[in-house]
Amino acid sequence: MGMQPTNSRNKVLPEDRDGPRKMGRPRAFCEVTALDAAMRVFWEKGYEGATLDDLTGAMSINRSSLYATFGDKETLFRKVMARYAGGPAAYVLEALQQPTARSVVEALLRGAVKLMADPTHPPGCLSLQGGLACGSDAENVKQAMIDWRKRGEAAIQKRIQRARTEGDLSKDVNPADLARYVSIVLNGLGVQAANGATPAEMTRAVEMALRTMPL
């Protein structure tokens, strides 16, 4: 391995400073930590309720750093959505990989309760809380949240359809209807958690819902 050319005082020579090894000034904050802080703000206050001062204060950065690293507020929110899906809500993809339709649905519902009962997170779920009370100025965000929830429901429907095709589910079951039912229960859990429902109360609701489903 070669060494960087230096003079007698161990300073980098001019040709090395201008060469391909030149590096930009490192950021003085962790992007992941800042993004998690922004997620919490949006989760607690919603998109429109979260001000730039709220965000920069929680993220411990100034506005210039926010714009340079994450873009504008809408772009930041979309990054937060992706972070949420791959972080706190990662249980959804794990649930869809369960071997039977019943185990899929049970993992989805119990996973939601576990997330929403976690005291380290704000109550409810970001997919609902984040887009509440969005006005016309935030129409793009409102639609992004709707599309996000629809994609989740479509993924559930696809997995239920597979179960039906494989004989794991009765042919009388309509995959679209069952996926919508599961989504309604999931959304209801989010609302109940935001209203202060306890883990035990939500668990009882899940067990009741599972008894009524054709699984």
* Same domain as 198, residue 99: yes
* Same domain as 104, residue 57: no
- pLDDT value at residue 139: 82
Distance CA 22, CA 199 (A): 53
* Same domain as 105, residue 208: yes
* Same domain as 93, residue 42: no
* Same domain as 187, residue 111: yes
* Same domain as 128, residue 103: yes
Instruction: Give the residue from 15, 40, 72 where a domain finishes.
Output: 72
* Same domain as 199, residue 99: yes
* Same domain as 164, residue 116: yes
Confirm whether 79 is domain-assigned.
no
- pLDDT value at residue 127: 82
Task: Note down the domain range covering 111.
Answer: 88-212
Confirm whether 184 is domain-assigned.
yes
User: What is the domain count for the chain?
Assistant: 2
Contact (Cβ atoms closer than 8 angstroms) between residue 35 and residue 83: yes
Collect contacts of 181-189 with beta carbons under 8 A, ≥24 apart.
181/213, 182/105, 182/108, 182/109, 182/153, 182/156, 182/213, 183/149, 183/152, 183/153, 183/156, 185/109, 185/209, 186/108, 186/109, 186/112, 187/128, 187/149, 189/109, 189/112, 189/113, 189/116
DSSP string, 82-150: HHHHHTTTTHHHHHHTSSSHHHHHHHHHHHHHHHHT-TTS-SS-HHHHTTTT--GGGHHHHHHHHHHHH
DSSP type of residue 22: -
Confirm whether 13 is domain-assigned.
no
- Give the CATH number, domain containing residue 43: 1.10.10.60
* Same domain as 114, residue 64: no
- pLDDT value at residue 16: 40
* Same domain as 138, residue 45: no
Give the residue carrying structure tokens 């930009």.
24
* Same domain as 171, residue 103: yes
Instruction: Give the residue from 72, 107, 138 where a domain finishes.
Output: 72
Confirm whether 146 is domain-assigned.
yes
Confirm whether 113 is domain-assigned.
yes
Closest CA to 146 of 213, 66, 47: 47
Give the residue carrying structure tokens 């959505």.
81
Per-residue pLDDT tens digits of the chain, which is 215 residues long: 444 444 434 443 343 444 444 444 445 568 999 999 999 999 999 898 899 999 999 999 999 999 999 999 999 999 999 999 999 999 999 999 999 999 999 999 999 999 998 989 888 888 877 766 566 677 888 888 889 999 999 999 999 999 999 999 999 999 999 999 999 999 999 999 989 999 999 999 999 999 999 99
Decide: helix, strand or coil at residue 173.
coil
- pLDDT value at residue 132: 62
Confirm whether 20 is domain-assigned.
no
Confirm whether 173 is domain-assigned.
yes
CA 13, 17, 20 angle in degrees (round to 5)? 130
| Residues near 114 by beta carbon (within 8 Å), at least 6 away in sequence | 91
* Same domain as 129, residue 44: no
- Give the CATH number, domain containing residue 121: 1.10.357.10
